[in-house]
Structure 1
Amino acid sequence: MELQINDSLLVKQFIDGDERALEALINKHNKRINGFIYSKVGDREVTEDIFQDTFMKVIRTLKRGAYNEEGKFLPWVMRIAHNLIIDHFRKTNRMPKFDGSDSFSIFSMIGDDKLNIEKQLIKDQINSELSQLIKELPKDQQEVLEMRIYKDMSFKEISDNTGVSINTALGRMRYALINLRKIIEEHNIVLTN
């Protein structure tokens, strides 16, 4: 019970603006979550990336005020990690989703090597437009987004290359995606195939 109370308190402190509370949560559960991810993917670098992506989702959900699993922080984070592991295997098996739902990701389309010629033309056009839109982002967000998406760098590598903390790199990526979504909406671009 002690663990759950502490997690709830740390979650509340983070939501109230204390960034160190998130760091405490990450440090507290680091081994367990990393061990779980590694047991499924068997690769240290992939484990690190999924771990960072997991906490990006955690941060986004907490900042949005959408977290409501009082006292069940670790199981909630483990579910997020589990879903990201499934997503990883979908991507590595080259099974991008083109279902037209709100969860459609332009990056899943960019990552598929086995496109027919028509889809390749669409991919090239979207890549070109996306490059232009990315140039509208602030330089620090642009840099992190390009390192993550185009250079496939881990957040640790991004942190090392930019001289900022992993949390700052995560934050910049988060804001880059939020701002990119706004820019896409402002330009009335429809991302479907």
Structure 2
Amino acid sequence: MESTIKSDGLLVSSYIQGNEKSLEILIVRHKQRIFSFILSKIQDREISEDIFQDTFIKVINTLKRGKYNEEGKFLPWVMRIAHNLIIDHFRRNKRIPKFNNTDDFDIFDVLSDDTLSAENQIIKSQILEDVRSLIEELPDDQKEVLLMRMYKDMSFKEIAENTAVSINTALGRMRYALINLRKLIEKHHIVLVN
């Protein structure tokens, strides 16, 4: 009972200090979410189980070597490890996945990140491609404002002048473009992975 209320951080510390049971609690706590994420990308239960096991082998090795420094962010850290192993799997099989989303994702953070690893570069180009195709589905007035703002780095004042509308109208179109983009991402089940 007591173990269910311990935070991930406390369990990680406890495991590092030699309590093997703490890792078991962490695995049980997050297994469903991590395994579902892997399976959604791999689409093969057996390979997904292998990647899930490899993920936790990597987690254990990192913890045992004292290299863990993601204080309070255990689950996102494990998800990144799983994600990198999925990329490795596709690389080995010469098949780049159509990568898409996790929670709390901001497309424009990824688009503006200049310091991307090789894995993230692959994902970024896929995300750009996916987002570009979704933008094409937006109504023309929203698409125009979104492209001017995000890809041409124009101010709302410049957008308003170029489209012969008020700044408030330009802002409104941008707002609706983002709302509709979010709906399209959900409709097409696109998962944008950072």
**TM bucket, shorter chain:** 0.3 to 0.5
Length-normalised TM-score, structure 1: 0.47
Length-normalised TM-score, structure 2: 0.47
**Which structure would you say has the larger Rg?**
2
